[in-house]
């Protein structure tokens, strides 16, 4: 497994991009929309891993609730790459881990298969699995 990205929910993607540019000298890539996940997002590419910035794209977005609890935003999840999301999810479930969702295959903006695993199964941190081929 490799670290794909650490994801931060922000209330305002454009303001977040301006802030990390002025303070850290880091540039974000193009802003993309993931309709299925209900997020607008952009990545800061660090070479060996990325930082994902996410903003809700609709009021019922799964991350809108996170912003209600954390109005200024904060770290939401980290993402590990796996060869097969199905195989990794099955193996984790076999060990008692809780893979989230209703079983419908989920995809990121690049069309890669993803899945989320309950924070209780990684020391309190929400984990995303991302399939890289």
Give the interface with Co ion as residue ranges (CB under 5 A): 7, 52, 79, 128
Nearer to Co ion among residue 22 and residue 133 (C-beta): 133
Residues linked to residue 71 through DSSP beta bridges, in sequence order: none
Q: How far is the CB of 19 from Co ion (least distance, A)?
A: 20
Whichever of 128 and 131 has its CB closer to Co ion, that residue is: 128
Distance of alpha carbon 80 from alpha carbon 105, whole angstroms: 17
Smallest distance, Å, CB 109 to Co ion?
10
CA 103 to chain centre: 18
Residue 104 CB coordination number (10 Å) = 6
Task: Between 96 and 105, name the residue whose CB sits nearer to Co ion.
Answer: 105
Please state, in angstroms and rounded to a whole number, the distance separating the CA atoms of residues 81 and 44: 17
Q: Which residues are catalytic?
A: 128
């Amino acid at each position: 497994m490799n670290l794909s990205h650490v994801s931060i929910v922000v209330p305002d993607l454009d303001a977040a991009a301006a802030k990390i540019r002025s303070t850290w000298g880091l540039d974000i890539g193009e802003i993309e929309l993931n309709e299925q996940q209900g997020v607008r997002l952009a990545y800061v590419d660090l070479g060996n891993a990325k930082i994902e910035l996410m903003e809700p794209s609709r009021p019922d977005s799964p991350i809108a609730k996170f912003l209600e609890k954390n109005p200024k935003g904060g770290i939401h999840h980290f993402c590990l790459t796996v060869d097969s999301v199905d195989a990794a999810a099955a193996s984790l479930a076999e060990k008692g881990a809780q893979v989230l969702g209703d079983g419908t295959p989920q995809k990121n903006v690049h069309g890669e298969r993803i899945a989320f695993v309950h924070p209780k199964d990684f020391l309190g941190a929400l984990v995303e699995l991302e399939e890289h081929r």
